[in-house]
Amino acid sequence: MKKPLKPSDISKKSDCLCRIEEGELAPLPPPYEDFNQNIPTPLKAEKTGNIETSLDNTVAIGIPRPASKEEEEALIKQFLSGLQKLFEKENNWTFLQPLLLSLEHCARCQTCSEACPVFEMSGRQEIYRPIFRSEVLRRIYKKYIKPGGKLTAKFTGDIDLNWEAIARLAELSYRCTLCRRCASVCPIGVDNGLIAREIRKLFSQEMGIAPKELHDMGTIQHLKTGSSTGMTAAAAKDSVEFIQEEMEEITGYEVEIPWDVEGADILLIHNAGEILSWPENVGAFAIIFQAAGLSWTLSSETAGYDVVNYGIWYDDVQLSRVAVRHADIARRLKVKKIVIGECGHAHKALTVIADRLLTGDLNIPRESAMVTLENIVMSGKLKFDPQKNDFPVTLHDPCNVVRSMGIVEPQRRILKKLAPRFREMTPHGVDNYCCGGGSGFAIMSRYNFAEWRNLVSSRKKFLQILKAFENESPETPKYVCAPCSNCKGTIRDIIHYYRAEERSRLYYGGLVELTVNALAGMKKPIINFGDKPSWE
């Protein structure tokens, strides 16, 4: 029996604070029991070298250990300087009030723990408890930042600050998907997801510590080359030209994908990952927008063809830069509104969060593609044949679209009309579970992080999907509709990892694909189960 860890143990000297043992993870049902003994592969010292792994032998960031005592002290000093800034309006007006309220009013009642899928699925590993990391930060704040904190620490909760504590806290902030299910059930309104994000921000904005996938290859690459995928505008245009040709093959009529049309009603911005990995999504939008007679355009400006904003996960400065770039592109194109493609975090970043960053003529109206699609489907302008979607369908709710934005019903109204065998997951809507790839996890895969994601953070979603289809035969192809690129990527990885295509015939895709699949008059289906897509 493991000795339960306490928040003060974060600074304990040990190789590994918490190790998931075989059989500890929540059990999977048949035919997946053979995965029940799987745990993230332990990292070997020769592979990690000087990288800090002492939290749980999983690495999300990869922070090098300090080479000397002096370096360690300098890092602690930097950390405290960053922590101080989190409580200054000049540095953190963006989230100062929510942070203060969440840090100062938690009653430590543990209600949040039961809502957290990572904690539950991990076999209730203490470090993954939503309050664990918050309590560590709270104690450090009270002891080292608040006046007289060192004197009152024994009263308010003592904690030692050393390199281990800092490095583990940084890693621990990347064991939460920021799904905010914990915050939604807190009777007081405390938000442990917010605290996790504030920790990430401190490390990024003060110490320059963030996962490479989010910063160097994420926001920096996005602002520099135009897309976090590394795709340039020329490459995006080439790919879209190819998609356009293939869509003509499917629809039987000429599809025009417009670029940089000044004065169009709509600037549609996709997650560029769709262009690379799910071209049918981009094509389906083009088909239905054209069929509905909308005035729309894509943008080939740097970052104008990639709606992602990884800043939302770790850094307010980068978040602001990307949001301003998107808004400025729309302003210069003189469009009436930006429609955000099927990308959950971009929905929240550009519509909700950036709402209080964009002023004057940068405050271009933003709308979810799900709302636009619903309007098209319900308008009666187009004819649909729901029988084309006569296969079991369930809907994954992206947290950023439902819980963080309140867009719950438009996607359901579409599915109820166009997918006769649609069924909900349990729970769903604003009570949904994260896919496990939230807050950047979907694109983070260095060391053994992808394996940790598949085994721990995505496990609840996998169980939910299996449950939604439990009455279907294993041979029946089933469609998980995930209207978010990162969720789709995560579900793709779950299906692959657990070999669920072979065992349960699970497939996944977006909402627009289902919509266009049901469109009357199409020459070929856009959704293909296991076979090669009809355009290949």
Partner 1 sequence: MGYYILTYLCLAVFITAVGRLMYRHLTIPVHLRWEIYPVQGEPADKVSYGGSYMEEMNWWEKKRKSSRVNEIFYMAPEILLMRGLWKENKRLWQMSFPLHLGLYLMLATFLLLSISSVSTLCGFAEDGGIMIVNGLSVATGWIGLIAGVIGSTGMLYKRLADRELRDYSTFADYFNIVFILIFFLCAFVAASTVDPLFNASRDYVLGLFSAGRAVPAYVPGRSLPGALTIILASLLTAYIPLTHLSHMFMKFFLYHRVKWDDTPNRPGSPIETAVKKNLEYRPTWKARHVDTDGKLSWREIASSAPKEMK
Residue ranges in 170-199 that form contacts with partner 1 under rule CB under 8 A: 180, 183-191, 194
Contact 265, 296 (CB under 8 A): yes
Site string for partner 1, 243-272 (x = CB under 8 A): ------------------------------
Specify the residue, 276 or 405, whose C-beta has the smaller distance to partner 1.
Answer: 405
Map the footprint of partner 1 across residues 200-219, applying CB under 8 A.
204-208, 215-216, 219
Q: Which long-range contacts (CB under 8 A, 24 or more apart) does 21-30 make?
A: 24/122, 24/123, 24/125, 25/121, 25/122, 25/123, 25/455, 25/456, 25/459, 26/120, 26/121, 26/122, 26/123, 26/459, 26/460, 26/463, 28/459, 28/462, 28/463, 28/466, 28/498, 29/463, 29/466
Specify the residue, 21 or 104, whose C-beta has the smaller distance to partner 1.
Answer: 104
Structural Rg of the chain based on CA atoms: 23
**Minimum CB distance to partner 1, residue 184 (Å):** 5
Of 33, 58, 32, the C-alpha closest to 47 is 58
Specify the residue, 360 or 530, whose C-beta has the smaller distance to partner 1.
Answer: 360
Map the footprint of partner 1 across residues 343-362, applying CB under 8 A.
351-353, 355-360
Contact 145, 31 (CB under 8 A): no
Residue in 51, 382, 408, 477 binding partner 1, rule: CB under 8 A: 408
Q: What is the Cα 229 distance to its own chain's centre?
A: 16
**Minimum CB distance to partner 1, residue 323 (Å):** 8
Site string for partner 1, 439-478 (x = CB under 8 A): ----------------------------------------
Q: Determine, following the binding rule CB under 8 A, whether residue 74 of this chain makes contact with partner 1.
A: no
Residue in 321, 388, 460, 488 binding partner 1, rule: CB under 8 A: 321
CA angle 44, 437, 311 (to 5 degrees): 100
Read off φ and ψ for residue 428, nearest 5 degrees. Answer: -145, -175
Specify the residue, 403 or 460, whose C-beta has the smaller distance to partner 1.
Answer: 403
Which helix (H) or strand (E) element contains residue 207?
helix 192-207
**Minimum CB distance to partner 1, residue 34 (Å):** 32
Site string for partner 1, 82-121 (x = CB under 8 A): x--x---xxx-xxxxxx-xxx-xxxxxxxx-xxx------
Specify the residue, 28 or 96, whose C-beta has the smaller distance to partner 1.
Answer: 96
Read off φ and ψ for residue 337, nearest 5 degrees. Answer: -160, 160
Residue in 38, 48, 78, 277 binding partner 1, rule: CB under 8 A: 78
Contact 175, 128 (CB under 8 A): yes
How far is residue 161 from each of residues 8, 12, 120, 137, 312, measured CA to CA in Å? 9, 10, 28, 10, 28
Residue in 239, 320, 445, 528 binding partner 1, rule: CB under 8 A: 320
Specify the residue, 4 or 64, whose C-beta has the smaller distance to partner 1.
Answer: 4
